Chains A and B, each alone.
Chain A
Amino acid sequence: MTLYRIKLGSYIVIGILLVFGFRLWQLQILDGDKYKRLSEDNRLRILKTPAPRGIIYDRNETPLVKNIPFFSVSITTDNPKKIDIDSLSALLGLKRQEVEEKLYRKDNSPFVPIKLKQGLSFGEIARIEAGRSDFPGLFVETDVGREYLFGKVGAHIIGYLGKITQSQMKNPGLRHFPPDALIGQWGVEALHDAQLRGIPGERIIEVDALGRELRLIQERPSVKGNDVSLSIDINIQKAVEDSFRSKAGALVALKPDTGEILAFESLPSFDPNTFSRGIVYEDWKALMDDKKKPMLNRAVQSQYPPGSTFKIITAIAALEEGVIHSETKVICTGGINFGKWTFGCWKKGGHGSVDFHKGIVESCDVYFYELGKRLGMDRIYKYADAFGLGRETGIDLVPVKERQGLIPNTEWKKEKKRIPWYLGDTFISAIGQGYVTTTPIQMAVMMSTFANGGTVYKPTLIKGEHRPVGAIKLKPDTIEMIKDALSGVINESNGTAQGARSSLTVIGGKTGTAQVVGKKKGAVAERFMDHAWFVAFAPVDKPEIALSVFVEHGGGGGAVAAPIAKKAIEAYMKSKNGQEAAAKSMTHGSQPIGGQKDAEN
């Protein structure tokens, strides 16, 4: 009987061994390739090495940014439960909850280091290195970070690097980026991110089960990002920053023959270094809540009535349309009566007999009411539009959205306001008040278009780029007469902007004032002061720079805005002369500029 049971046992043994054999066949032959691949993945890890980011230079090849090591602390662990989270968060100076969240993220892999904190200071690194022995797998990593060499100067255009955001991760081009990647978030850093970024290198390493590096199998070095040369001149930027003296406002200076931006400041500004070091919530909130709005790009987002600077458009329209000639005279008694309304001139006593030249130089409102009356709004509109006002200039800025401004015409009022256009509307529009609003960059484009004789360029921040987007043919006489008058504004004894007179070059320009609504007579509080405008170009006979200045609550344009314009233009002249001198010395065999550039990398 028992023998039969033992025989049965043999069959059981054979049966179970067949099951094992079948399982072996399944694992090794059927799924062999799959497991082979898994075992390769087990052994090899691909680590990305960050690529040095391209350097951003100004138009004179002065580096504006520097790549600096950016330290972060990560941990590799196969079991986060083993980590003493309390002492780890104490070591890193983080909240327990923050550390926990990172360690217990669902998509964590035991083989990929978990980044715990970025942007470490040297003090923190020292502390972490000292306490590291208690936490196996904790290590300090080095990434490429950014230092912005000029701090707040030019911050609105240079921008900053920041951690990739959730919504950006969904972007197909950025999808493969690690969750802590630093990418350009503002300004040129964001706009030319793809170009600046470079190609990360790859290190294929053999690791053990704890992710510890055993050996380098293969390495593909990273490729440095391309440098970007901006059209701006950092010397002008610095001069502008200084000359605003903590006032809020904007300055945009263009190269008239190309539309390259020579200077672009929006003040107050922010320090991009705060962002690139991994901004803390408190700092971010302080920036956002700041009443002075440092994150607002006033050059493209402030839109106000351009005031008397708009008279340039009215004057061009009048000359081109032939409604006046140089000898046309208007008597200014300090205002004109129109029905029950009185339209005053800024000079209460009146300008007396005013011709074209005097009308511009002394900015006589009554003279321009007359021009407006002769032209009609639609003809003024035609010229304002041709000069790029009332629409986006098309400047590329990320993530800032440019505002449009507004140039009204009769049709617009009928459509939007459902009331007809009155002559009074024309009067105030002709002197740049009322419905007319523009942004500082539009006024710079307007000035630049006039300075180059009628070509509208899209403003660009990239050196050497020029994109004409429109043109208007002007009579040489028109250009001559207006240039002469705008020069008079600054250089004649009765001009409204003598504060812009420079010994270095002959500047032409026009002041403007945007009235602040709610102003009371004799009010002195700054918030009730008018906004000051100034547009200018130089040298008058052969313009190389055209600009607009806008100063919030700056009062009259001549007093505050004109000296800023002068400083900017003089900075340009000095910088240009300096470059010419450097170019000369270069031909005499001193160190080439290119060599310095390489040394900075």
Chain B
Amino acid sequence: MLKIDRRLIKNFDWITLLLITALSLIGIMTIYSATRPPLGVGEHPDFYAKQMLWFVISMTALIAVVSVNYIWLYRISYPLYALGLILLIVVLFTGRTSMGAQRWLSIGPVSFQPSEFFRIFFIAGFTAYLTNIGNRFTEKIPLKSIMIFAIFPLILLIKQPDLGTAILLMSLFVILSVSKGISRKITTVIIIIGLISIPFLGNIFWEGLKEYQKNRLIAFIDPDIDPAGIGYHIAQSKISVGSGGFFGKGYLKGTQGPLRFLPEKHTDFIFAVFAEEWGFIGSALLLGIYLLLFLRGLDTAMKAKDEFGRLTATGITAMFFIYFCVNIGMTLGIMPVVGVPLPFVSYGGTALLSNFIAAGILINIRTRRFELFYP
């Protein structure tokens, strides 16, 4: 199965690989800077080294994913989705709690967040479903599909709680449904039901939030309420980004991160550390890399040879884009603080691995766009 086809190398999507490698290296560099001990005194935490190791693992996983035809993903997508749901249920009962959320599962020495992989399983499962259902979907979205692919996973995620993944899944559900194509009638009905139910949903949503999540939303609406309390993250993040100026303070010259003004500096707020050190020029360049990655992903979707490939590429690109938007929007103070990592850049082994696997699927779809027959 692992025989390397010459066409595979000829058509390989080097650009996507180059873009995500660049992002990962920028990430490792920034993690190194963000976690350096204050004033250079004391030991340097080995986050960057761990991330490098995960980068190697992730790259290996990507190569493995690319070498297998993505039709296999289609074939095992339902079992994968079921496995994902089971893992989410398991984590609710036996998961390790960290920072007020029960997200981690330990298998032997390895601990990981099932929701990181569930994202991919969800995309695979839902696109497979959309592919199978054919054009019936456009006329009437079956209630069954809403239950299985929206309500059920949503409940499990909010229970953890994992607000970031929950938002992602809701968005992906809508984006994939729209890309599949739904009639104007259904769109109108959805919008009307949505508008009517906002107050109810809003209330249920608000009550379902943990205290820190409510605080974050309040802080987002008015960061000046208590800059040292709930608005602190936003205020400090803006200070970090803004103080970078045009040219930035220079690599390893940022002060916000090492001096611990910036919370979660190597995970959720890594862009703030980067922007402080590299300024407007560096930040614009980084945004440029992402833009290329997204456009490339959408281009892959357009060039995909089948509907499953097209929807999967759309879903994966959308996933990267949503995480990117929520993260950067939060860092720049234009969206609420939701604990979402910046894809490829933020520290986190499971996330990097799952993003590389997702990117591997993207590359896979693009690389095999000329293969007309399933092997």
Measured CB to CB, the residues of A under 8 A from B are: 1-3, 5-7, 9-10, 13-14, 16-17, 19-21, 23-25, 27-29, 31-36, 38-39, 42-43, 78-79, 109-110, 206-210, 214-215
Q: Are A13 and B321 in contact (CB under 8 A)?
A: yes
Task: Tell whether, in the assembled complex, residue A42 and residue B261 are in contact, meaning their CB atoms are under 8 Å apart.
Answer: yes
Q: Give A42 to B272 CA distance when docked, in angstroms.
A: 15
Q: A10-B298, A13-B298, A39-B243 are in contact. List 12 more A-B contacts (CB 8 A).
A: A9-B318, A14-B295, A24-B241, A25-B280, A28-B275, A32-B243, A32-B244, A38-B239, A42-B259, A78-B232, A79-B229, A210-B260
Q: With A and B bound together, what is the CA distance between A533 and B173 in angstroms?
A: 102
- B241, A28: Cβ atoms closer than 8 Å: yes
CA A109 to CA B228, docked complex, whole Å? 8
**How far is it, in angstroms, between the C-alpha of A28 and the C-alpha of B280 when the chains are bound?**
6
- Does B302 contact A7, Cβ atoms closer than 8 Å? yes
Q: How far is the CA of A31 from the CA of B259 in the complex (A)?
A: 22
Chain B hits for A109, CB < 8 A? 228
Give CA–CA (A79, B215) in the complex, Å: 14
User: How would residues 307 to 335 of chain B score, 1 for a CB under 8 Å from any chain A CB and 0 otherwise?
Assistant: 00010001000100100010011001110
Q: How many residues on the B side are at the interface (Cβ–Cβ under 8 A)?
A: 48
- A29-B246 CB under 8 A given contacts A1-B181, A13-B294, A20-B332: yes
Binds A, one of B114-122, B189-197, B284-292, B361-369: B284-292
Q: Which residues of B contact A38 (CB under 8 A)?
A: 239, 242-243
Distance between Cα atoms of A209 and B290 in the complex (Å): 32
Q: Which residues of B contact A9 (CB under 8 A)?
A: 179, 298, 314, 318
Give the distance in Å from the alpha carbon of A34 to the alpha carbon of B245 in the complex: 10
What separation, in Å, do the CA atoms of A323 and B244 have in the docked complex?
95
- DSSP majority for the B interface? helix
The reply on B24 being an interface residue by CB < 8 A is no
**A43 to B333 CA separation, bound complex (whole angstroms):** 21
Chain A residues with Cβ below 8 Å from B276 are: 39
User: Can you give 20 A-B contacts (C-beta < 8 A)?
Assistant: A2-B180, A2-B181, A6-B179, A10-B295, A17-B287, A24-B241, A28-B279, A29-B280, A32-B244, A35-B242, A35-B243, A36-B243, A39-B255, A42-B261, A43-B261, A78-B232, A79-B229, A110-B228, A208-B38, A208-B261
- Establish whether residues B287 and A20, one from each chain, have CB atoms under 8 Å apart when the complex forms: yes
Cα A343 to Cα B323 with chains together (Å): 108
| Residue among A2, A20, A27, A209 making CB contact with B179, cutoff 8 Å | A2
Task: Judge whether B38 and A31 touch: CB under 8 Å.
Answer: no
Q: How far does the alpha carbon of A1 sit from the alpha carbon of B184 in the complex, in Å?
A: 13
Please, which residues of chain A bring their CB within 8 A of the CB of B302? 3, 6-7
Give the complex CA separation of A5 and B138 in angstroms.
14
CB <8 Å contact, B298 and A17: no
- B284/A24 in contact, CB under 8 A: yes
Determine the residue in chain B with the shortest Cβ distance to A10: B298
Whole-angstrom CA separation of A38 from B244 in the bound complex = 12
Give bound CA distance, A492 to B104, whole Å.
107
Who on chain A is nearest to B307 by CB? Answer: A2
**Is B238 within 8 A of A35, CB to CB?**
yes
> DSSP majority for the A interface?
helix
The complex places the Cα of A307 from the Cα of B96 at a distance, in Å, of 93
B301 to chain A: which residues have CB within 8 Å?
6
Interchain CB contact under 8 A, B261 and A214: no
A20 and B328: CB pair below 8 A?
yes
The 6 closest A-B pairs by CB, nearest first: A35-B242, A39-B243, A32-B245, A110-B228, A27-B242, A28-B280
Q: Is B102 an interface residue (CB 8 A)?
A: no
Contacts of B51 in A (CB 8 A): none
Q: Which residues of B contact A209 (CB under 8 A)?
A: 236, 259-261
CA distance A206 to B245 in the complex (A): 22
B240 contacts partner chain A, Cβ-Cβ < 8 Å: yes
Chain A residue with minimal CB distance to B262? Answer: A209
Q: How far is the CB of A597 from chain B (nearest CB, A)?
A: 43
- Tell me, rounded to whole Å, the shortest Cβ–Cβ distance linking A537 to chain B: 67
Q: Are B259 and A43 in contact (CB under 8 A)?
A: yes
The answer to whether A5 and B181 touch across the interface, beta carbons within 8 angstroms, is: yes
B155 near A: Cβ within 8 Å? no
B256 contacts chain A at the CB level, 8 A cutoff = yes
Residues of B within 8 A of A36 (CB): 242-243, 245
Within the complex, the shortest CB–CB distance from A145 to chain B, in Å, comes to 31
A74 to B365: give the CA distance in the assembly, Å.
Answer: 63
Minimum CB distance partner of A212 in chain B: B260
CA distance A36 to B245 in the complex (A): 8
- B310 cross-chain contacts in A, Cβ below 8 A: 2, 6
Known interface pairs A32-B243, A210-B260. Does A24 touch B332 (Cβ–Cβ under 8 Å)? yes
The smallest beta-carbon distance between A26 and chain B, in angstroms, is 9
Contact of A17 among B39, B179, B290 (CB under 8 A): B290
CB distance from B139 to the nearest CB of A (A): 15
B178 within 8 A of A: yes
Contacts of B298 in A (CB 8 A): 6-7, 9-10, 13
| Set B39, B295, B321: member contacting A215, Cβ < 8 A | B39
Collect the chain A residues with CB atoms within 8 Å of residue B179's CB. Answer: 2, 5-6, 9
Q: A residues within 8 A CB of B318?
A: 9
User: CA of A17 to CA of B328 in the docked complex: distance in angstroms?
Assistant: 10
User: At the interface, yes or no: B283 with Cβ under 8 Å from chain A?
Assistant: yes
Chain B positions 255 through 274: 1 when the CB is less than 8 Å from some CB of chain A, otherwise 0: 11001110000000000000
Q: Which residues of A contact B232 (CB under 8 A)?
A: 78
A23 — which chain B residues lie within 8 A by C-beta? 332, 334
Given contacts A35-B241, A110-B228, contact A206 B279 (CB under 8 A): no
B260 proximity list for chain A (CB < 8 A): 208-210
Min CB gap A194→B, angstroms = 35
Within the assembled complex, what's the spacing in Å between the Cα atoms of A206 and B258?
12
In the assembly, what is the distance between CA of A207 and CA of B39, in Å? 11
Contacting residues, chain A, for B333 (C-beta < 8 A): 27
For A1, A35, A43, the residue with the greatest tally of chain B CB atoms inside 10 Å of its CB is: A35
Bound form: Cα–Cα A74–B256 in Å: 26
* Nearest CB of B to A23, in Å: 5
Chain B minimum-CB-distance residue to A36? B243
Q: How far is the CA of A42 from the CA of B261 in the complex (A)?
A: 8
CA distance A43 to B236 in the complex (A): 12
Which residues on B sit within 8 Å (CB–CB) of A20?
A: 287, 328-329, 332
- Taking a contact as CB atoms under 8 Å apart, the answer to whether A17 and B291 are in contact is yes
Q: Which residues of B contact A24 (CB under 8 A)?
A: 241, 275, 280, 283-284, 287, 332
Distance, CA A110 to CA B230, complexed state (A)? 13
Closest to A111 in B: B228
Which residues of the other chain, B, contact A214 by a CB distance below 8 angstroms? 38-39, 259
**Are B287 and A35 in contact, with the CB atoms below 8 A?**
no
Minimum Cβ distance to chain A for residue B317 (Å): 8
Residues of B within 8 A of A215 (CB): 39
CA distance A13 to B294 in the complex (A): 7
B287: chain A residues within 8 A (beta carbon): 17, 20-21, 24
A10–B241 Cα distance when bound, in Å, is 27
Given contacts A42-B259, A43-B259, contact A78 B228 (CB under 8 A): yes
| B39 partner, pick from A1, A14, A206, beta carbons under 8 A | A206
Smallest CB gap from A39: residue in B: B243
A423 to chain B, nearest CB (A): 80
- Bound CA–CA A484/B127 (angstroms): 125
Given contacts A13-B295, A24-B284, A28-B245, contact A39 B240 (CB under 8 A): yes
CA distance A27 to B237 in the complex (A): 11
A45 to chain B, nearest CB (A): 12
Minimum CB–CB distance from A83 to chain B (whole Å) comes to: 14
| Chain B, 37-87, CB within 8 A of any chain A CB | 38-39
Residues of chain A within 8 A (CB-CB) of B328 are 20
Q: For residue B261, which residues in chain A have a CB less than 8 angstroms away from its CB? A: 39, 42-43, 208-209
Q: Which residues of A contact B329 (CB under 8 A)?
A: 20
Most B C-beta atoms less than 10 A away, residue of A3, A14, A39, A207: A39
* A80 and B283 alpha carbons, distance in the complex (Å): 37
Complex-state Cα separation, A32 to B276, whole angstroms: 10
Q: Specify which chain B residues have a CB less than 8 angstroms from the CB of A25 in the assembled complex.
A: 280
| Pairwise interchain contact A28-B259, C-beta atoms closer than 8 A | no
